[in-house]
Structure 1
Amino acid sequence: MNPLYEPFPDYVVVNDKRVRIVTDFREYIKLIDLLKDDEVNTIEKAELIMSWFLDEPAGEFSECLQALSDFVTNYRGRETRSNREEENDQESEEQHNTPVISYNQDAPYIIAGFLECYGIDLIEVPYMHWWKFQMLIDGMNEDCELKKRMGYRSIDLSKIKDKEERERIRKIQKQIAIVDRVVTSEEIGDAFGNMMF
């Protein structure tokens, strides 16, 4: 999919049939919060997750969940779940699994970053597609506080040779460490997978 000339999808494909889904970014932040909520049991989560589908999905529950999981984690359209499973590059896999953003903890920086970089007030905007939201975060300038935090969190300290620089970055990482439970792309897929009946 090329967003420069194709519209963002408002559906997923289940059993070769398009099924319309909710696409606003707020809803997917809620979904991620739901997945990490240990107080909601698996059956309740499954029932709640079905509310993200606007049409009655045709097919097995597991196929519906896989389609929604792919939508949540695959906004670039570059890699499918099977491609991720086949990836052999251990280093890039470790980087991919390292959480660099928390939608709860970083909420003030996300809001400020959208205002600073794009003039978009996320509190006031009535709708924004989940994929557009993700793309805009990726495209924020590196001077933005959110991107700085994400950058520092992604640094592998073992690759920094200078001891003083390593210590400086370690202190920064400790100050901005994500303290709430973050759900990675793989965990989203696993969470959906664990619900498959």
Structure 2
Amino acid sequence: MLTLTRSDRSNPTGLNNEFEYCGHTYRINLAYDTVLSFYELLEDDHFSDEEKVAVAFQMFFDSQEINADDKFQIEAFKVISRYLNEDPYISADGDDSEAEGNVTSPRYYSFKQDAEAIYASFYEQYGIDLLYQKQKMHWDQFKALFAGLGPKTYFMRIVQIRQEDVTKLEGKAQQEMIRAQQRYALEDDQTQEAVQDQIANFGNMLIAIAKS
């Protein structure tokens, strides 16, 4: 059985960074930029399904000596997919509403399309230059800081524009908001919600490849 564990030995912060499978422990690369690269890989049509699997495995497991048979890969990415799609703010009854000022739904943002706004907002609020955090900042850390971005940051202002109900506005204010929404509009297949669906389907693709 393969499970995602938190290692106190190699990572004192206790962040997720190891897999256990059949009694063996494997280091997994869950740096924030690795996860974001995986998201981009899923929607890259230049790669075949088989190539995506090979590249993704290399991303997460680096150059470790692993006997990556079909069962290992299927189980590994099943757990990785579930981990990446976890949302600590969804309640037991499925309500994913959040406190005012936080990101409320993955359909209102895209890590790819909003990359510059997210970069600027991290620097603005935390003084963190994400370019210097590649292969340093863990996905858990990035996700927590991302969720904590305040309503006045560049990124969150864009999210608020997308969420605005223009029917509640009138005249010039309505026209300006419509233009702003057009400027920052997301393609349906670019939203983080769409990416999460792609991650969920990644496991099915692996199974199909294994059976072929």
Which one-letter code corresponds to 2:132 in the other structure? E
Q: TM-score, normalised by structure 2?
A: 0.69
- 1:189 to 2:200 alignment: yes
- Partner SS, residue 173 of structure 1: helix
| Counterparts of residues 1-197 of structure 1 (less than 5 Å) | 7-12=14-19, 19-51=26-58, 52-53=60-61, 56=66, 59-74=71-86, 76=88, 96=105, 98=107, 100-126=108-134, 127-155=136-164, 157=165, 160-164=167-171, 167-179=175-187, 181-182=189-190, 183-196=194-207, 197=210
Which one-letter code corresponds to 1:176 in the other structure? Y
Q: Aligned pairs, how many?
A: 182
- Partner SS, residue 184 of structure 1: helix
CA distance in 2, matches of 1:191, 1:107: 23
Please state how far the C-alpha of 1:50 moved relative to its aligned partner.
1.4
Say which is worse superposed, 114-123 or 70-79, in terms of deviation: 70-79
CA distance in 2, matches of 1:168, 1:43: 46
Residues 130 and 195 (structure 1), Cα distance of their counterparts in 2 relative to 1, 3 Å cut: same
| Structure 2: unaligned runs, 5 residues or longer | 1-11, 98-103
Say which is worse superposed, 57-66 or 104-113, in terms of deviation: 57-66
Residues 76 and 151 (structure 1), Cα distance of their counterparts in 2 relative to 1, 3 Å cut: same
- Partner SS, residue 189 of structure 1: helix
Please state how far the C-alpha of 1:78 moved relative to its aligned partner.
6.0
Please state how far the C-alpha of 1:19 moved relative to its aligned partner.
4.0
Which one-letter code corresponds to 1:68 in the other structure? I
Q: Rg: which structure is higher?
A: 2
Verify the 8 A CA contact 1:10 1:23 in the aligned structure 2: yes
Residues 121 and 96 (structure 1), Cα distance of their counterparts in 2 relative to 1, 3 Å cut: closer
Please state how far the C-alpha of 1:97 moved relative to its aligned partner.
5.4
Residues 13 and 190 (structure 1), Cα distance of their counterparts in 2 relative to 1, 3 Å cut: farther
CA distance in 1, matches of 2:178, 2:109: 17
RMSD (Å) for aligned C-alpha atoms: 3.4
Say which is worse superposed, 116-125 or 169-178, in terms of deviation: 169-178
CA distance in 2, matches of 1:117, 1:97: 21
1:26-51: CA deviations, max 9, x gaps?
11111011000011000111111211
